[in-house]
Every structure is written in C-alpha cells, then in structure tokens.
Structure 1
Amino acid sequence: MLTREEHPVAWAMLLHELADAHQHLGALLAQMLAVGEAEEADFAVQLGHVLAHLNRAWHGRDDTRLDAITGEQHSERSRYPSDLPPVG
C-alpha cells in the first residue's frame, strides 16, 4: 500500500480517485434526495462512474510509478477488482 511519505505523487493520485468518487456519490445522493426518484439509466451511469473511481483507487493502491497510465491501463483499472471480495 502506498504511503504519502514514500510515494507522494502516487499517493496524491490515489486520493484524487477517492475524492472524485466521494464527490460524485454525494452529487448522486443530493439529486436523489431533492427529486425523490432516480431514472434507472441515469442511476446506472452515475453509480458506474463512482465505481470506476473506486476501482481505479483499488488497482492503484500499490502502484509506485510516477508516469501517467495509458488509456488501456485506465480501462483495465476501471474494472471491478478480482482480488477484492464483496463484504456485507
């Protein structure tokens, strides 16, 4: 797992993914509370966006490379992790 002290740039990228997930989930919640409903298609897109951020955070949790990831790596990291079993 990354640490701020050892890999500050990679750490910042990890926190950025989590912050984006937090922001988008908050916006989704606010929209649903204000409107009182959600269209399934929009809900799927928005929740999928949140999950993609969380998935990239998981896949990047120990990546110490400081270079930008490629488009292919971005897509791969956006997929649900096979090494993270659902809990609950």
Structure 2
Amino acid sequence: MPNIKSAIKRVATNEKRRLQNASQKSALRTAVKAFEQAADSNNVEAAQQTLQVAVKKLDKAVTKGLIHKNAANRKKSRLAKRFNQLSAQA
C-alpha cells in the first residue's frame, strides 16, 4: 500500500475506474448475447431491437476506450451479417 497521498488517491481512482470498466464490458457482452439469443429463436423484431442496443453499446465502449474501434467494427459487421441472413430467411 502506498504511503504518499497522491499515490493513495491514484489507487482509489484506478479501482473505481476498473469497476466501471468491468460493468460496462459486462453490459456489452450481455447485449451481444441478447441479440444472439433473439437471432437463434428466429425472432426478427426482437433481433432488430437487440441489434440496435448492441451496436450502441459497442460504439459507446469505443469512445470510453474499453475496446479498439476496429474490434468494435468487426463485431458490428458480424452481428449485422447475422441479422441480414435472419431477415432474408423470414
């Protein structure tokens, strides 16, 4: 444990940010899984709504620095591809 006041504050700040990042990343994964479940059940309306939520969370994660923009774009592309296949079947 640090003795210097600024280092003590830094440890507290880092822990606070770590918890916020973990929470946002978990919500992101949950949103993607919700879309995948809707796509698996062949529910086009639910899939469209959950896709919008997942894309929004991916974009937000990029602006917060949680994930790289190329990784987010890759995930969005794969989700959109899956949605397009689903909507073509229906």
TM-score (norm 2): 0.48
Instruction: Identify the structure with bigger relative contact order (alpha carbons < 8 Å, sequence gap 6+).
Output: 1
Bigger Rg over Cα: 2
Which protein is richer in helix relative to its size?
A: 2
